[in-house]
Structure 1
Amino acid sequence: MKVLTIGAAVVDIVVARALPMRGAKQDVEHIGLYAGGGAVNAGLNFAARGARVAVHAAVGRDLEGSLIADLLARQGLRAAFDALDEPTGKAVVIVDEQGAARAYAQRGASARVGEGGFPGLGDCELVYVTGLSLKSQECLQAALARLPRRGFRLAVTPGARQLSRPDGLAALRCAADLLCMNAHEAARLCGEDPPEDVDGRGIAPERAEALARRVVVREGQGALVTLGASGAVFYDGQAAHFGAPHRVDVVSTVGAGDAYASAFAHEWARGASPSRALSEAAASAAEVIGTLPANLAGALRR
């Protein structure tokens, strides 16, 4: 399968487990540099599953951009990068002792993905779109509208900026064959209050199913709504399917959403049953949750 991922490519600076100390300077157990961003994380996951992958992202003409390109090449991916005269995006990711992650992001060049167009957009079987800036979203919607025909399936995982402007997302939302988001994002897109934890057991699958049904806007479209540690619900346009999570020791939650959605999209695009796609997605997320970085490619290095 030929896959094109579109979205962010950034350097993740992962800081894990601060040791309790007095003073302004804190010792930590780990600081590492990794490739991250939705397009990179998803692309690496698709490639690990045997797909031929191109990653369309934007980086700076700097050391960080070349390091990301080198890592993708070592993993057998093609970097279809827009090289810009501004810095490659970076994120500082703080991981606590329970594995919960908080990120501080400087998007840099990633905010300008696709300003030069999307060459090769039609030369694939699956296009997987991760979070985009509003400008990049406009560029992609225009590129899709210009295609004489569309021979690929389109999976979209919108980011926070896109979800904050549902009207601007409308064209891409309608074009998507598969929409992927977590339950809080789905509620935001549908203009509803955030779903609540039910007696400490997480968000109810029934609530996720109702949101998934609302996310779908046309015939033939499906919606995947993830529930974190409670699993996920896939609505295929006719029926809802629940996927249970894999129980693992959590090292870091960063990248788990990318791992889950991209693994699901890969199986879905291959024609797998919903139960198999959900099972493969849960296994993929569990593998990433067991590591500090957002993917399994290892540290950035020459």
Structure 2
Amino acid sequence: MQFTTIGAAIVDIVVSRVRPMSGAKQDVEHIGLYAGGGAVNAALNVAARGARTSVYACVGRDLEGGLLRDLLQRHGIRAAMPDHVLPTGKAVVMVDDSGAARAYAQRGASAWVGEHGFPDLRQADVVYVTGLSLESQSWLQAALADLSAPWPFRLVVTPGARQLSDPAALHGLWDQADLLCVNAREAAKLCGDESLNTDAPSPEVARSLAQRLIHRPGQAVLVTLGSGGALFYDGADGHFHPARMVPAVSTIGAGDAFASAFVHAWADGAAPQAALAAATDSAARIIQVIPANQAGPLRA
């Protein structure tokens, strides 16, 4: 399988075991430098599962961009990541004692994915789109419009915060997607439902939201429910799988780990419950480590 990811490649500066500040300086358990960004996290995950993998992203002409390229190369991942005059994107990720994470991001070059096009998309079996700037989303839609139908790949869309902030702009990709991947709050937002006040609604609520997100025949929706599990709606039936309860070290990569593992199994022909089980195991592994993936620290 050729699995192509599109989206952010950034450096995560992860600070773990953060407590409320009690003075000007505070000791923490760990500070580490890691690869991050949805496109990179997904690519590393599916490459470890045996897929031939490539990444479309954008980095700066700096040390951090070189470190990201080197890491992907070591993992056998083809990186289509042109240099940009802006610096490589970075995020400072603060992880508290419960494993909950809060990120402070500087998008930098990562907001310019696709400025020079998306060559070779037709070689993919899966095109997995992670969070994009609205400019990058427009460039991707133009590239897809230039491809003659039918496409040889499945298009999977996992929208980011900027896309979710403008659902009308997202409609182009959303309408074309074979699979839309969102969490429960994101699903409610796209449905215009402001009443949902939990990350883990019931499977019945998740199914109702998923049904409303279907835009065309043949489309499917994956709704993650945090500690409540996940529901895959194939256009006719809802397939629920509970979460696996493990100690949470950090939640920063759980969504990427779950969705990419599900898509890899689903696109390879696995039944819904088998794909959900594979995704659940993948997310459980990631929340037991500090970074958002299992590639280890960035280093020369």
Give the distance between the partners of 2:294 and 2:39, measured in 1 at CA.
14
Give the distance between the partners of 2:281 and 2:196, measured in 1 at CA.
25
- 1:251 is matched with which residue? 249
Q: Find 1:264's aligned residue among 251, 262, 282.
A: 262
Q: 1:206 to 1:109 in 2, by over 3 A?
A: same
- 1:234 is matched with which residue? 232
Q: Deviations over 1:83-112 (max 9, x none)?
A: 111100000000000000000000000101
Q: Return the offset for 1:197.
A: 3.7
CA contact (8 A) 1:2 1:125 kept: yes
- 1:188 is matched with which residue? 189
- 1:164 is matched with which residue? 165
Query: Is 1:144 equivalent to 2:144 in the alignment?
Result: yes
CA contact (8 A) 2:19 2:96 kept: no
Q: Return the offset for 1:190.
A: 1.2
Q: Return the offset for 1:194.
A: 4.5
Q: 1:169 to 1:17 in 2, by over 3 A?
A: same
Runs of 4+ in 1 over 3 A off after TM superposition: 18-22
- Letter of the aligned partner of 1:68 in structure 2? L
- Letter of the aligned partner of 1:250 in structure 2? A
The alignment partner of 2:223 has SS state of: strand
- Paired residues in the alignment total 299
- 2:126 is matched with which residue? 126
The alignment partner of 2:93 has SS state of: strand
Q: 1:23 to 1:85 in 2, by over 3 A?
A: same
Alignment of 1:1-302 (within 5 A): 1-18=1-18, 22-149=22-149, 150-197=151-198, 202-302=200-300
| Structure 1 gap ranges (5+) | none
Give the distance between the partners of 2:258 and 2:18, measured in 1 at CA.
28
Q: Deviations over 1:117-136 (max 9, x none)?
A: 00111111000000000000
CA contact (8 A) 2:94 2:103 kept: yes
Query: Normalising by the residue count of structure 2, what TM-score does the alignment of the two structures yield?
Result: 0.97
Give the distance between the partners of 1:65 and 1:21, measured in 2 at CA.
32
Q: Return the offset for 1:165.
A: 1.0
Q: Deviations over 1:11-44 (max 9, x none)?
A: 0000011367742011111000000000000000
Q: 1:81 to 1:162 in 2, by over 3 A?
A: same
Give the distance between the partners of 2:132 and 2:54, measured in 1 at CA.
17
- Letter of the aligned partner of 2:107 in structure 1? R
The alignment partner of 1:3 has SS state of: strand
Give the distance between the partners of 1:22 and 1:209, measured in 2 at CA.
44
Q: 1:19 to 1:225 in 2, by over 3 A?
A: closer
Give the distance between the partners of 1:18 and 1:152, measured in 2 at CA.
43
| Structure 2 gap ranges (5+) | none
Q: Deviations over 1:53-89 (max 9, x none)?
A: 0010000010000000000111111111021111000
